[in-house]
Structure 1
Amino acid sequence: MPVENYGVWKAHPVHYTIERHEDDPKSPHLSLYFHDLESGQPKYDTSFTRREKDIKGLYRAAINIKSGDPLDSRLAYWVNHGIDQNPLVDGLATSDFGFRALTDKRKSNERGLDYIRDSLFNTHSGRLLPHDVAGQYNDIIDVLEPHIRQAIEENADVYLFGSQFSDGKGMHNIHMNQGNIRKYRDDDGVFHDGGLIIHFTHSGKWLGVFLGFASQAVHTDDRTGHAITGVTWSDFLRPDIMEESVVIQEAYVNPASPKSKSVTLSNKTDRTVELDRWKIHNNAGDIQTLPDNVWLKPRIDQPFDLPNCPLSDHGDTITLVNEQGLKVDAVSYNCQQGGIKGGPIVFAH
């Protein structure tokens, strides 16, 4: 079954601590302390010893910075500086401060994160990072800490996706929660992934930070979240297989557009790709099967109509899967982009 007490907590971050190798070599965390008052500050005292975890007056988010897999303890790490283009952000900014339970339903205001079925980031942009090693910008602490510090300094709004502690005093499981190794297989679930989305309200910028374990599967079952192939992030993020194959290049979604409700696929490789039994999904679960006997030649773009898979002009996610049901590419757009009349939405890859 999926992780329990899953939801999103809207809050303000105020303090953090980091466990390095000498503090905890097995299961270290970055502890992010926060409150969920819309305005004002609670009284709290951060003068505590490193062995203590709680700060009176604040909640704590326990963010894993090392995998518990003894064979590969690295984390997969993605940052999306354009997360505001995802339709999920439209509902976050207007939500109330505090914790809100989420389900795996497809209703946008009730659904959690899914690293595989949502277009939360470009999967090819990820890095595999160890916990704590000498040097600069070469471990998870080096890349995660600056974003946390900036969020605190600018009194940003943060949206923590994960599991609420049973005592209600904080959160954990702020990472991918599917495709796990056998030891953690019971935690698998779809639309139950964790993550951190930051809204720097003064500048208006949004940032998404997403964490997985190197040993987690890249492809999972749509119902259970269990791994359906042996390909893991440690395999997928190797430099020698970074080439993308077919991508969603652009989409017409506005009813006033001349090519309304269509997508253009682009073959980025130097080989012809057969698209027989490939499908396109939208956020509502509608499916468009591509025509039979279609071959996409190298470096060629080709449009496809979507009569069975309508795209919303209020924001949507478009997912392309191959004949095995494995995700090839996914993109998303928000309501502002969906309102473009006459022209397509072009997606960067």
Structure 2
Amino acid sequence: MALAYGFVKARIVSPPLLKATRRQHETQYHEHFGVRVNGAHWDVAVNVGTNDDDDLLKYKLVYDFRHPLIQTLKQTPAGSHPLTGTAALPAIDVMRSDILAATGDWRNSDVMDGSGFPEPAASLKRLLVRAQQSQADVYVFGRFYAEGDGIHDTHMNQGSTGSFIHRAGDDSNDHNDIWQDGCVLVDLGEPEWAAYFAAFNKQLVPTDDLGNPLPDAQPI
């Protein structure tokens, strides 16, 4: 069963703030910012890295993003748009669509140290601040919060191992899935948009129809 997935189209109403979340073996960092969705305040959590040099991010921060998806998204109204179970764009799958065509190479994130200086946190924050100041439309793809109003998992959501393995019919864990990848797109009023894509180094591709790594899968 697929998890609750989709995107929000909104404008930023509170500036990005770097927050740390302690996991079992590492600390993960997110840029949190607020958006207004149908009159409600939503929290957005965008992954920017970890303090574990064995589990960093691969990321793309693209300022000349071009794709036919732009025209589709421009025509959508502001608000939340569920895409659970959708197996085509505008749902995002970095392995099964051409969404990353002409976006250049993946970059390695810095090791996060709790400050706002490592990349991609520093550059992403500048982009989000610019988006808020210019009242730009922001499109955030990911999984909706199970409790409260918000969206997270704004990274590739397939190819993980261990507790994230997707077992058919079992929706009890935060599992892999296809056509559920996250990203952030920003319409700055130019023909090209800005885009942010991310995946953890420990996520492996290619993946099967459940989003689990195939036997010969490798890091991106």
Shift of 1:138: 4.8
- Indicate the SS of the match to 1:231: strand
* 1:146 partner letter: R
Cα shift at 1:21:
9.5
1:202-255 CA-partner distances (Å, limit 9, x unpaired): x4541111111111113112x11111123113xxxxxxxxxxxxxxxxxxxxxx
- Provide Cα deviations, 1:134-162, integer angstroms capped at 9, x if missing partner: 99975331232121111111111011101
Tell me how far apart the structure 1 counterparts of residues 106 and 184 of structure 2 sit (CA, whole Å): 15
Q: Does 1:213 align with 2:212?
A: no
- Residues 5 and 138 of structure 1, relative CA distance in 2, 3 Å threshold: same
> Stretches of 4+ moved more than 4 A in 1?
133-138
C-alpha distance in 1 between matches for 2:196 and 2:134: 17
Quick one: distance in 2 between partners of 1:135 and 1:166?
29
For normalisation by structure 1, the TM-score amounts to 0.53
Structure 1: how far apart are the matches of 2:165 and 2:103? Answer: 22
Aligned to 2:217: 230
- Give, in angstroms, the shift of residue 130 of structure 1: 2.8
Q: State the partner residue of 2:44.
A: 61
TM-score (norm 2): 0.81
- Kindly report the root-mean-square deviation, in angstroms, between the aligned alpha carbons of the 2 structures: 2.9
SS for the counterpart of 2:141 is strand
SS at match of 1:96: coil
8 Å CA contact retained: 1:16, 1:30: yes
Partner of 1:190: 178
Query: Which structure has the highest strand share of the two?
Result: 2
Other-structure match for 2:171: none
Query: Does residue 94 of structure 2 align to residue 115 of structure 1?
Result: yes
Instruction: Give the corresponding residue for 1:153.
Output: 133
| Cross-structure match for 1:129 | 109
How far the C-alpha of 1:104 sits from its partner, in A, is 4.1
Matched to 1:99, the amino acid is S
CA 1:135–1:193 in structure 2 vs 1: closer, same or farther (change >3 Å)? closer
Q: Which amino acid is the alignment partner of residue 27 of structure 2?
A: K
Q: Unpaired segments of 5 or more residues in structure 1? A: 43-56, 234-349
Native 8 Å contact 2:21 2:28 kept in 1: no
Residues 153/212 of structure 1: CA separation in 2 closer, same or farther (3 Å cut) = same
Distance in 2 (CA, whole Å) between partners of 1:143 and 1:190 is 28
Quick one: distance in 2 between partners of 1:130 and 1:191?
28
What is the distance in 1 between the residues matched to 2:196 and 2:97?
14
- The DSSP-based 3-state class of the residue aligned with 1:28 is strand
- Match among 73, 77, 80 for residue 96 of structure 1: 77
Work out whether 1:144 is the aligned partner of 2:124: yes
Which moves more between the two structures, 99-108 or 207-216? 99-108
Find the aligned partners of 1:138 and 1:165 in 2 and give their Cα distance.
27
Where does residue 47 of structure 1 map in the other structure?
none
For 2:67, the aligned partner's letter is N
SS at match of 1:218: strand
Match of 1:199 among 174, 184, 187: 187
In the alignment, structure 1 residue 16 sits paired with structure 2 residue 16: yes
Whichever of the two has the greater Rg, that structure is 1
The one-letter amino acid paired with 1:17 is L
